[in-house]
Chains A and B, each alone.
Chain A
Amino acid sequence: MRRLLSIAAAVAALVAGAPAVSAQTRADAAYTQFDLPNGLHVILHEDHTVPLVTVNVWYHVGSAHEKPGRTGFAHLFEHLMFMGSKHAPYGDFDRLLEAAGGTNNASTAEDRTNYYIDVPSNALDLALFLESDRMGWLLDAMSPKTVDAQRDVVKNERRQSYENAPYGMASIEIAQMLYPKGHPYSWPTIGSMDDLSAASYEDVVQFFRTFYQPANASLVVAGDIDPRQAKAAVETWFSDVPAGTAHVGPIDYPHPDLREVKKKTIQDRVQLPRLYLTWITPAHFAPGDAELDVLSLLLAGGKNSRLYKRLVYDLQIAQDVAALQASKTLNSEYQIVVTARPDTSIDQIRSIVDEEIRKIQQAPPSEREFRRAVNQIESSFYDRMERVGDYGGVADQMNSYYYATGNPAYFTEDLARYRALSPEDVTAAASKFLPLARRVELVVEPSK
Chain B
Amino acid sequence: MSGLGRALTSVIVAGALGIAAAAQQAPPDRSKAPAAGPAPALHVPAIEKRTPANAPEIWVVPMHKVPTVHLRWINPIAGGNPAGSPPGLASLVADMLDEGAGTRSALEIADTIDYLGAQLTTDASWDAASVDLHVPVARLAEALPVMVDVIQRPTFPADELDRMKKERLASLLEAQDDPEELVRFAFPRIVYGRSHQYGTSMLGTRAAIQGFTVEDLRRFHQARYLPVARTVIVVAGDVTADTVVPMIEKAFGTSTAAFDGGQPGEAAPKPGTRRVYLVDKPGAAQSQIRIGWIGVPRATPDYFPIRVLNTILGGSFTSRLNNNLREVHGYAYGAGSAFEMRRGAGPFYAAAGVQTDKTVDALKEFFTELTRIHEPVPADELEKAKRYLALQLLREFETTRDVAASVSQLFVYGLPGDFYQTYGDRVAAVTAEDVKRAADKYIQPGTLAVVIVGDRKAIEAGVRALNLGPLTVIEAGDIFK
CB contacts (< 8 Å) of A388 on chain B: these are 398
Among B4-12, B263-271, B460-468, the stretch in contact with A: B4-12
What residues of chain A lie closer than 8 Å to B166, measured between beta carbons?
316, 341
Question: Is A285's CB within 8 Å of the partner chain B?
Answer: no
- State A98–B33 Cα separation when bound (angstroms): 14
Per-residue CB contact flags for chain A residues 4-20 toward chain B (1 = under 8 Å, else 0) read 10101000100101110
Residue of B nearest to A393 (CB): B398
Flag whether B197 is at the interface (Cβ < 8 A).
no
Q: Flag if A155 contacts B355 (CB, 8 Å).
A: yes
Which residues of chain A are near B400, meaning CB under 8 Å? 386
B16 to A, closest residue via Cβ: A228
A227 at the B interface (CB under 8 A): yes
Complex interface: stretch among A49-57, A197-205, A435-443: A49-57
Min C-beta distance of B426 to chain A, whole Å: 15
A85 and B162 CA atoms in complex are apart in Å by 59
Is A149 interfacial (CB-CB < 8 Å)?
yes
Q: Is the CB of B399 within 8 A of A160?
A: no
A36 close to B383 (CB less than 8 A): no
Asked whether any CB of chain B lies closer than 8 Å to the CB of A22, the reply is yes
Q: What is the minimal beta-carbon distance from A335 to any residue of chain B, in angstroms?
A: 8
Separation in Å of the B359 CB from the closest CB of chain A? 12
- CB of A101 within 8 A of CB of B39, answer yes
Chain A interface residue bracket vs B: 35 or more
CB atoms of B39 and A52 under 8 A apart: no
Contact between chains at B19 and A386 (CB < 8 Å): no
Q: How far is the CA of A297 from the CA of B21 in the complex (A)?
A: 45
Contact partner of A88 among B33, B66, B115, CB < 8 A? B33
A49, B398: Cβ atoms closer than 8 Å: yes
Residue numbers in A under 8 Å from B354 (CB-CB) = 156
Asked whether A385 lies within 8 Å of B326 as measured between CB atoms, the reply is no
A279 within 8 A of partner (CB): no
Is A131 on the interface with B (CB-CB < 8 A)?
A: no
> Given A125-B34, A129-B30, A316-B166, do A378 and B117 touch, yes or no (CB 8 Å)?
yes
A245–B177 alpha-carbon span in the complex (Å): 50
Q: Which of A162-170, A257-265, A356-364 contacts B (4 or more CB under 8 A)?
A: A162-170
A164 and B284 within 8 A (CB): yes
Q: Which of chain B's residues have a CB closer than 8 A to the CB of A48?
A: 10
Contacts A50-B42, A303-B107, A376-B117 given; does A18 touch B22 at CB 8 Å: no
B117 close to A98 (CB less than 8 A): no
Stretch of B87-95, B293-301, B327-335, B368-376 at the chain-chain interface: B327-335
* A190 contacts B398, C-beta separation under 8 Å: no
A237 CB → nearest B CB, Å: 6
Name the CB-closest residue of B to A326: B1
A32 touching B17, Cβ below 8 Å = yes
Contact status B353-A156, CB under 8 Å: yes
CB contacts (< 8 Å) of B388 on chain A: these are 98-99, 101
Q: Please give the distance in Å from B318's CB to the nearest CB on chain A.
A: 5
Centre residue among A96, A123, A386 by max chain B CB count within 10 A: A386
Indicate if the CB atoms of A159 and B111 lie closer than 8 Å.
Answer: no
CB contact under 8 A between A164 and B118, given known A129-B33, A342-B173? no
From B36, B66, B387, A385 is in contact (CB under 8 Å) with B66
Among A36, A109, A304, A335, point to the contact of B3 (Cβ < 8 A): A109
Q: How distant is the Cα of A189 from the Cα of B11 in the complex, in angstroms?
A: 40
Is A100 an interface residue when CB atoms closer than 8 A count as contact? Answer: yes
B25 close to A235 (CB less than 8 A): yes
A82: Cβ under 8 A from any B Cβ: yes
Q: Known interface pairs A228-B17, A240-B28. Does A50 touch B285 (Cβ–Cβ under 8 Å)? A: no
Binary interface encoding of chain A residues 120-154 relative to chain B, with 1 for a CB under 8 A from any of its CBs, else 0: 11110110011001000000000000000111110
Residues on the A chain within 8 Å of B16, using CB: 227-228
B118 nearest in chain A by CB position: A379
Question: How far is it, in angstroms, between the C-alpha of A123 and the C-alpha of B10 when the chains are bound?
Answer: 22
Give the interface SS of chain A, mostly helix, strand, loop or mixed: mixed
Contact B333 A18 (CB under 8 A): no
**A399–B20 alpha-carbon span in the complex (Å):** 21
Give complex CA distance A270, B175 in Å.
9
Stretch at the interface among A246-254, A367-375, A419-427: A367-375
The smallest beta-carbon distance between B421 and chain A, in angstroms, is 15
* Cα of A347 to Cα of B114 in the assembled complex, Å: 31
**Contact in complex: B67, A302 (CB < 8 Å):** no
**A96 touching B33, Cβ below 8 Å:** yes
Cα A152 to Cα B36 in complex, Å, equals 34
Known: A26-B65, A96-B33. A303 touches B106 (CB 8 A): yes
Q: With the chains together, A8 CA to B179 CA distance in Å?
A: 43
| Contact indicator A382/B399 (Cβ below 8 Å) | no
Contact indicator A271/B177 (Cβ below 8 Å):
yes
Report the nearest A residue to B41, measured CB to CB: A51
Which of B2, B38, B384 contacts A99, CB < 8 Å? B384
> In this complex, what residue of A is CB-closest to B397?
A50
| Contact of A66 with B by CB under 8 A | no
Alpha-carbon distance A131/B281, docked complex (angstroms): 42
A272-B170 in contact given A99-B384, A376-B114 (Cβ < 8 Å): yes
A231 at interface, CB cutoff 8 A: yes
B66 touches A382 (CB 8 A): yes
Contact of B66 among A44, A121, A166, A386 (CB under 8 A): A386
Query: Is B379 interfacial (CB 8 A cutoff)?
Result: no
| CB within 8 Å of A: which B273-287 residues | 281-286
Return A142 CB to nearest CB of chain B, in Å: 16
Beyond A153-B326, A386-B399, whether A28 also contacts B117 by CB under 8 A is no
1/0 per residue A21-37: CB within 8 Å of B? 01100111111111111
Interface membership of B167, Cβ < 8 A: yes
Known pairs A99-B388, A164-B179, A386-B400; A107 contacts B3 (CB<8 A): yes
Contact of A120 among B10, B391, B401 (CB under 8 A): B391
**CB-defined A-B contacts under 8 Å, sample of 6:** A101-B387, A153-B326, A161-B333, A166-B178, A301-B114, A304-B107
Taking A35-B21, A161-B4, A190-B4 as known contacts, 5 extra A-B pairs with beta carbons closer than 8 A to each other, sorted by chain A number, are: A15-B117, A105-B5, A108-B3, A120-B394, A151-B330
